[in-house]
């Protein structure tokens, strides 16, 4: 059974930094694109950043220049380095990945349970 477990969230002051990680586990054969989404209070879940197998990246406009998504394919782990955090970054951050299992014929999309990021003075 495949699981995505996020970590690294917490409370940080404006201008601070956090580093999120997501470590998929289970009967994983291969992982395709990986991404971070977030859902702020009263808003819908939205894409923050995405990274492909060959490390091509795309970012939501509001986080460009502040956030960096990266991956360690050997460890099946994706990271989100968040710098210059703003109160508007407060949200639950979710890991997302396309994963194929042993014996599977194609990749399926999986979600983590989320980690809370709160940016406040």
How does DSSP assign 55-72, residue by residue? --EEE-GGGTTTEEEEEE
pLDDT of residue 85: 98
Which of 86, 98, 78, 83 lies closest to 6, judged by CA? 78
* pLDDT of residue 92 exceeding 90: yes
pLDDT of residue 5: 94
Burial 70-108 (b: 16+ CB within 10 A, else e): ebeeeebbbbbbbeebeeebbbbbbbbbbbbbeeeeebe
The pLDDT score that the predictor gives to residue 19 is 98
Query: From CA 101, how far away is CA 26, in angstroms rounded?
Result: 8
Per-residue pLDDT, averaged over 60-65, amounts to 97
Q: What value does the mean pLDDT take over residues 75-85?
A: 96
pLDDT of 74 higher than 90: no
């Amino acid at each position: 059974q495949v699981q995505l477990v996020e970590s690294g969230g917490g409370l940080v002051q404006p201008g601070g930094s956090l580093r999120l990680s997501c470590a998929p586990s289970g009967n994983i054969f291969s992982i395709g694109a990986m991404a971070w989404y977030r859902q702020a209070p009263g808003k819908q879940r939205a894409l923050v950043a995405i990274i492909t197998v060959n490390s091509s990246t795309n970012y939501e406009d509001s986080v460009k220049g502040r956030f960096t998504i990266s991956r360690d394919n050997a460890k099946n782990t994706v990271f989100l380095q968040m710098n210059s955090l703003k109160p508007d970054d407060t949200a639950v951050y979710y890991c997302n990945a396309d994963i194929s299992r042993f014996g599977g014929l194609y990749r399926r999309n999986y979600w983590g349970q989320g980690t809370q990021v709160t940016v406040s003075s």
